[in-house]
Amino acid sequence: MIAPLKKIITCLDHTDMDQGLIENACTLSKVAGATQIVFLNIIKDFNLPDAVLKEFPDLLDKAIKERKDEIKGLLKQHFKCDVPTKIIVKQGGETKEILNVANEIKSDLIILGRKKVSDSVLSTRIARRSPCNLLVIPQGEKLKFDKIFIPVDFSDYSSLSLRRTLLLTKDLKSKIYLQNVYNVPSSYRYSGKSYKEFSDIMKGHAKKDLEFLIKKAETKDQELIPVTTLDENGKIIDLILDTADKKKVNMIVMGAKGRTATSALFIGSKAERMIRINDSIPLMIIRKKGAVAGILETLMDLN
């Protein structure tokens, strides 16, 4: 049984990206049936000498109050939802504080914004250690749920991604593309078949597996569409993004791990690469809640 996305953390960064994140949090809360949205902001650049802090002990408190008031103003303008909200402002390292709050409130989802011109360091760090699902929204993108794209490798995590998506879109008529990227193993030469013949065999198996996955899925008004793609160059994520772009999808939903990932504390290499290179399509990384054992493990090795 998959739990709904009830508690959602939206991470604001005190830039012009905040308005879009607030509006997207509202959109998602309506679809997901959220019961609380926590708007979190981390003040990173408040490193003052101890002597100065001793002389002016209320500087941080004043900065936090000012930031909270600013966020309240933004919510009044841009959060047009009835969902209860909470504002948290902390000072410290972004990754550590975001994960602290996520553990404290037992969140179901963390929303992060991504500037198209910047790198993906924060998103990757959060994805590696998050105790819950993660949604990365590129700057300027508005959440929609008409077309959703799920890479499928038939692992437990890709099955979880499908079930999460079906729950999220249960009241919508969404098109959900299920893509399996297959390849031809080098050992095909020993089969007596040509590359093309063996490729067709692999494609046939991928189609049958997708058909079985679709047949057993519990859908309502959603349409599940199978997609098979041959990977000839070992660039699976590039193929996924290229196909998703051609389908003009609104969101990619991807498991934190695939068949070969091991530690629950980290994400698979494919999910990590997707976070790094995808700067145009909202991306939801699905985790099994509780897969990360606790706050001590979650916060280890943070730099």
Q: Yes or no: say if 133 and 108 are a contact pair by the CB < 8 Å rule.
A: yes
Query: Mean pLDDT for the chain?
Result: 90
pLDDT tens string 258-287: 544 444 445 778 889 999 999 999 999 998
- In this prediction the pTM is 0.90
Question: What is the average per-residue pLDDT within 82-110?
Answer: 95
Distances (CA, A) of 113 to 108, 127, 156, 190, 223: 17, 13, 27, 49, 29
Predicted pLDDT of residue 291: 57
Least confident of 8-17, 65-74, 234-243, 292-301: 292-301
**Residue tagged 């001793």 (tokens):** 54
Residue 119 pLDDT exceeds 90: no
Predicted pLDDT of residue 261: 43
> Which CATH number applies to 7-298?
3.40.50.12370
Predicted pLDDT of residue 116: 80
Predicted pLDDT of residue 298: 46
pLDDT tens string 212-254: 999 999 999 999 999 999 999 989 999 999 999 999 999 999 9
Domain ranges of the chain: 7-298
